[in-house]
Amino acid sequence: MEYRIEHDSMGEMQIPADRYWGAQTERSRQNFPIGVGIETMPAEIIKAFGILKAAAAAANHTLKPEKMTDAKLAAICAAAKEVTDGALDGHFPLVVWQTGSGTQSNMNSNEVIANRGNEIAGAKLLHPNDDVNMSQSSNDTFPTAMHIAAVTALEDKLLPAIQALIDTFDRLEKENADAVKTGRTHLQDAVPITFGEEVSGWKNSLEKDMELIRYAMKPLTELALGGTAVGTGLNAPAGFDSLVAEEVSKLTGKTFVTAENKYHALTSKDELVFAHGAVKATACDMMKIANDVRWLSSGPRAGLGEIFIPENEPGSSIMPGKVNPTQCEQVTMVAVQVMGNDAAVGIAASQGNFELNVFMPVLIYNFLQSVRLLAESIAAFNERCASGITANREKMKEYMNRSLMTVTALNPYIGYENAAKVAKKAHKENISLREACTELGFLTEDKFDEIYHPEKMV
């Protein structure tokens, strides 16, 4: 392999000749051989760095044009766009398990943009610290990248996936508005419900989750950039924080503002904890929905069998013809991962000491994994399971007619205790509620037939 020599404040380093990173990135690459190639800094963070570096250069060009010249701005923006577009992903090798401030990933961005920018310009215009990192610190850039990445992932990935599943459930609700079935509480028979009503519960859970996510996103639109090292804004010109937030908004098409208190923005990660809580709530609802679907589709002959779901692949290496609810299983496993990630996010956020939190890479790694996994999981479940659900109306009718809890319809006529006697007699002797009620002398057959209509109990 061919190398070139680059230097930083600690001396010279050999860098692979075909890579744009510099000495500080290489030191980190050598000092943290932990999860290499597997747990690298999330692509969403790298993209966010490209956005914020271009935004910072634009703000500096306005406020300090004598230092951020037209040529430097053009070179930084061109290289930063390549970072944002993913064209330079191979030049960001650093792992999550590095310095807790994300300093080395900030420098990775500075070095790559400087070297690529110089290449584009055909001249050595840019210095990683003096130009690309102008008016910034790792302590305010990494929190800013976290918020940009979080908002983008939630808005562009998770919310559309949830909405698509809501649309599917809305269709199923309408199609099954007249499919009467037995309800179930405590895994025991309950009074009747329509399958459409059951699906409406799933749908509204996800609608509530979307409301929670949107509510939790608003605090994430506040950016730490402009606080520099400890929140004072040292070495950043007046107005830089507000202007750079405007520039980030232009580049992303989303509304971002500067954080009112930079001391809070650097050290507290409560906004991310709150937002991940909404993500976890969605995972909890998806766990419930997926479990309902696999219970209702269980069988085909020894289960509930009230709904049919798509048969996607063989389910057993030994039992021919077996098909399993695999999409439900992937959803429940993803939900478990998100719930576990929530613990990591919360613990990491609790570790802010004085003017900085130094658990930021692990926090955003888990946050973004949750959002990415949940979005992809919901999309797969919708496409390969939910969209193909059909009701087994014959089975639903059979269960409803056999259910003892429809005896609840008799309460106004014979009272709770007498109705309980009817249900117990019918269950013990394996006879119908009609037979039990008339044998006990509580109602005549004609009166029973007049008032007993389970389909009207929904």
**In this structure, are residues 36 and 95 in contact, taking their beta carbons and an 8 Å threshold?**
yes
Rounded to an integer, what distance in angstroms lies between the CA atom of residue 114 and that of residue 64? 18
Whether residue 22 contacts residue 12, with contact meaning beta carbons closer than 8 Å, is answered with: no
Q: Quick check: helix, strand or coil at residue 14?
A: strand
Neighbour count for residue 107 (Cβ, 10 Å): 26
The letter for the amino acid at 187 is L
Angle (CA) 269-274-277 rounded to 5° is: 130
- Give 7's strand partners: 12
Question: How far is it, in rounded angstroms, from Cα 3 to Cα 145?
Answer: 31
Burial code of 229-240, b = ≥16 C-beta within 10 A, e = fewer? bbbebeebbeeb
Which residues are known catalytic residues?
A: 186, 316
Tally of helices (H runs) and strands (E runs) in the chain: 17, 10
DSSP state of 225: T
**Strand (E) positions, 231-336?**
257-258, 307-308
Q: Which two tokens stand for residue 43?
A: 């692509």
